[in-house]
Homo-oligomer: A and B are copies of this chain.
């Protein structure tokens, strides 16, 4: 039996902070949008702030705090400036690290943090690695049209990083995944423009996300009431409120930080986790659930004991 330790959480945001009401000339119904999304502020990256730059900024802080030796860099990204090389190698070079490190990039959106955890967990279990630097980094706003009603006031640019290590535990983590490739066009980039079919993606979150939620709990052999913290991808207030209600999750165990930073895609879960860590909301041995969903379309879930 073994678990994962997620430590030295850190993040950085695009440096152009925007209040949603600044978009009132673009979107006539901005107050209505604000009520639905629950977002007051989004952060856009400036021209020089690409995926690599944001990744570098947050990784430097994480590595400053971690005193061990990393042997893996995994970067989750969909909006790297260059098709090749992978961002993990550019980051490896910029950080001046030694050669004995496994580097790879995962192309994944809002389920990305959990996919990355499951791969790192597998690599650790097999004895291939011990300490991974996990970076989630995206700059969606560089590919969103200012007038896009579905995307224009939701997404923020951000990077998050943490160290994933092995932790002895009497409780194996549970992972579970579902894929709906037939819905891929509902959230995609084409000719440098990201578009989202809001109603279709919303329908997906009311349909496949609850299915995965139930299956994940069953697979973990826990009961809903034993789970102490529900840390979900921060899609929008509407989606989160709806899921909380439908899945019968007590409000005090369900967290959201979307108001002040927006939807940071693969970074929403690690940033929310960082917030909760700082407030000491999560205690040792608490049972946590992560749930990510979006681009793919995909759903990914994780239940584990916090250590």
Contact = CB atoms under 8 A, between A and B. Distances in A.
Given A180-B99, A181-B97, A109 B126 contact: no
A242 interface: no
A171 interface: no
Contact of A82 (B99, B108, B189, B298): B189
A250 B103 CA distance: 31
Contacts of A99: 178-180, 208
State the number of copies, please: 2
A138 to B, nearest CB: 9
Interface stretch (A20-28, A83-91, A157-165, A267-275): A83-91
Nearest to A183: B93
B184 A89 contact: yes
A118 interface: yes
A119 interface: yes
A109 B85 contact: yes
Contacts of A92: 179, 181-182, 184
Contacts of A104: 106-108, 115
Contact of A125 (B84, B88, B125): B125
Task: Tell me if A's interface is mostly helix, strand, loop or mixed.
Answer: mixed
Nearest to A120: B122
Contact of A119 (B96, B119, B175, B177): B119
A190 interface: yes
A118 B107 contact: no
A156 interface: no
A37 interface: no
Interface string A98-140: 0111111111110000010011011101101000000000000
A295 B126 contact: no
Nearest to A175: B128
A238 interface: no
Contact of A93 (B106, B122, B182): B182
A89 B296 contact: yes
Given A104-B107, A179-B99, A297-B89, A83 B94 contact: no
A78 interface: yes
A90 B184 contact: yes
**Residue with the highest number of chain B CB atoms closer than 10 Å, among A121, A182, A183:** A182
A102 B112 CA distance: 12
11 contacts: A78-B83, A82-B189, A82-B190, A84-B194, A85-B109, A92-B179, A95-B181, A99-B208, A102-B179, A122-B123, A122-B125
Given A86-B107, A88-B181, A119-B122, 11 more contacts: A73-B179, A83-B107, A83-B194, A85-B184, A89-B297, A90-B184, A99-B180, A99-B208, A103-B181, A107-B107, A121-B126
